[in-house]
Structures are given as structure tokens and as C-alpha cells.
């Protein structure tokens, strides 16, 4: 290990603190001074560790998705589309209904960036949302091949629907919606989730 100036702070702790700040204020709403004060470091140290404010935010988003997006992984592995959608919708309810967390979703709050200088962040967040929708679509395409969805339901349309619900609940939470209200949204969507026709015939014959 080469000799040099020791790192002034713990990287994981810095990312965690920055996560809370960005989650509360969004990308543009969080200044460099806010970050250096919260992290207890100088600008030079922040740039040396993360390259830029943008680089720090991307590290924060990676951490957020790994910690808060676990329900997506579970949904991808669920045995049926019905169980998958239950996980896709209850995950946001638990995340945004937890009063220990800032209201809303970091991906949505961060997207409140509107200046030209924040275009790269907007593009990154849009790409992350798109990747999330693609993952949902792939799971539903698998369900369609397994005859776990009605033949006339398009997995791509259903994926957009689920994605809209996930981010829509984040917006509702940012506006003050309670856990119970978010659960109500999820429950309605879950009750109306399309069932394969073979299941309908069985239920009709009973």
C-alpha cells in the first residue's frame, strides 16, 4: 500500500448521509455546502472521493436501489404473476409508509431537477426507471409464456401500468398520503389484476 494522505472519512457512511439529504431535498435542492456540512468534509475531499456532486448522487442511487428495491428482486423470483404484483405493490407501501423514511421516493425526488446543468441526472434517473420497467416486463412475458396471464393482456402494457403505480404511490406519499391510503391503492390494483382464463373456468365451475 503506497504512502499518502489517509482518507478523512468513511465512504459508506458518507454515502448513507448523502442519501438522506438527497431523499429529503432532491438533487438540485441539495447544495454542495449542504453535502459538505452533513458529511463533515471539505469540497476537495468530496471531489477526490466521488468526482463530483453528480458522481456522489449516482453512488447514492445505487445504494438506495440496493436497499429499497429488494422487493423487485423478490417479485422477479415469485412463482406467479399474482404473487409478483403483490410484491411489486406492497414493497412501495412498506417503503413509503415507513415514517422513519423521508416522504416519497429518492428516484422521484431526485427527478425534480429541472436546470440544464442537471440534465445528466435526469437522464440517469429516466434510465433507471426504464430499466425497472423492463425488468417487470420480462417477468410478465415469462408469465405469459407460462399461461399465467390471459392471452389478450399485453405484458408491456401491464408493465407500464405496474411501473406507473409504483411511482404514483411515491408521488402520493410525497404529498402526504398515509400508509393506509397507499395500501388502499395497492389493494384495488391487486384485486383487478388479470387472472388466467383457466383460473376463471375453475372458479366458475365450483
Longest dimension (CA), the chain: 77
Confidence of residue 1 (pLDDT cuts 50, 70, 90): very low
Pick the CATH number of 69-195 from 3.30.1330.60, 1.10.357.10, 3.40.50.720, 3.40.50.10800: 1.10.357.10
Give whole-number Cα distances, 142 to 26, 82, 133, 165, in Å: 36, 13, 14, 21
Q: Would you state the pLDDT for residue 99?
A: 87
Give me 122's grid cell.
Answer: 435526469
Give me 39's grid cell.
Answer: 458529511
Q: Would you state the pLDDT for residue 67?
A: 87
CB atoms within 10 A of CB 113: 18
pLDDT tens per residue, range 152-175: 999 999 999 999 999 999 999 988
Spans of all domains in the chain = 11-61, 69-195
Give whole-number Cα distances, 56 to 11, 62, 155, in Å: 10, 10, 35
- Is a pLDDT exceeding 50 seen at residue 206? no
CB atoms within 10 A of CB 30: 22
Please identify which residue in the block is written with the cell numbers 410525497.
174
pLDDT tens per residue, range 21-63: 999 888 888 999 999 999 999 999 999 999 999 999 999 999 9
C-alpha torsion 16→21→26→31, nearest 10:
-110
Confidence of residue 195 (pLDDT cuts 50, 70, 90): confident
Residue 124: closest CA among 4, 10, 22, 12? 22
State pTM to two decimals.
0.83
Confidence of residue 68 (pLDDT cuts 50, 70, 90): confident
Residue 196, SS3 per DSSP: coil
Q: Is it true that domain 11-61 has CATH number 3.40.50.720?
A: no
Q: Are 57 and 140 in contact (CB under 8 A)?
A: no
pLDDT tens per residue, range 125-152: 889 999 999 999 999 999 999 999 999 9
Amino acid at each position: 500500500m503506497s504512502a499518502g494522505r489517509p482518507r478523512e472519512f468513511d465512504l459508506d457512511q458518507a454515502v448513507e448521509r448523502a442519501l438522506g439529504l438527497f431523499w429529503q431535498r432532491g438533487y438540485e435542492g441539495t447544495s454542495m455546502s449542504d453535502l459538505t456540512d452533513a458529511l463533515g468534509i471539505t469540497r476537495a475531499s468530496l471531489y477526490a472521493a466521488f468526482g463530483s456532486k453528480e458522481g456522489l448522487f449516482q453512488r447514492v442511487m445505487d445504494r438506495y436501489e440496493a436497499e429499497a428495491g429488494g422487493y423487485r428482486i423478490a417479485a422477479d423470483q415469485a412463482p406467479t404473476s399474482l404473487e409478483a404484483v403483490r410484491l411489486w405493490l406492497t414493497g412501495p407501501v412498506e417503503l413509503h409508509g415507513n415514517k422513519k423514511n423521508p416522504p416519497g421516493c429518492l428516484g422521484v425526488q431526485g427527478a425534480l431537477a429541472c436546470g440544464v446543468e442537471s440534465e445528466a441526472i435526469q437522464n440517469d434517473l429516466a434510465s433507471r426507471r426504464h430499466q425497472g420497467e423492463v425488468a417487470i416486463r420480462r417477468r410478465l412475458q415469462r408469465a405469459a409464456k407460462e399461461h399465467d396471464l390471459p392471452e389478450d393482456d399485453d405484458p408491456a402494457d401491464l408493465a407500464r401500468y405496474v411501473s406507473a403505480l409504483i411511482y404514483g404511490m411515491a408521488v402520493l406519499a410525497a404529498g402526504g398520503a398515509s400508509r393506509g391510503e397507499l395500501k388502499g391503492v395497492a389493494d384495488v390494483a391487486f384485486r383487478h389484476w388479470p387472472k388466467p382464463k383457466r383460473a376463471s373456468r375453475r372458479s366458475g365451475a365450483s
